[in-house]
Amino acid sequence: MDLNIFKKTRFKKVYGIDVNQHYLDQTAERYADLADILDCRCVDLTADLANLPQSELVIANLLIEYIGYSSFQKIIQKVAPKYVSCIIQQKP
């Protein structure tokens, strides 16, 4: 996903959540111009929801296939977003 859609003038904070710290580091480096609003967090979404912040919008593209519906529902309950957007890829 191209994070350049998140303009500093429209968003106070953008959270990047992933289980891979190396990927998060690369993301922060790639989008250094968003450093004021981009908060990358290494979180195992199947086990550790305590560090998830509340958010108005959750974009979860190609996530549910990996963590399962039950874990995704717990995340949405914890984060309590106003809007949820997700793309699901059906596995063969």
For 17-39, write each residue's pLDDT tens digit. 999 999 999 999 999 998 999 99
- Give the HSE-up count for residue 15: Cα atoms under 13 Å, Cβ half-sphere: 17
Backbone angles phi, psi at 74, to 5 degrees: -65, -40
- Tally Cβ neighbours within 10 Å of residue 22: 9
Domain positions in the chain are 1-42, 49-92
pLDDT tens across 50-86, in order?
989 999 999 998 899 989 999 999 999 999 999 999 9
Predicted confidence at residue 48, as pLDDT, reads: 86
Q: In Å, how far are 5, 48, 91 from 43, measured between CA atoms?
A: 23, 6, 24
- Tally Cβ neighbours within 10 Å of residue 69: 10
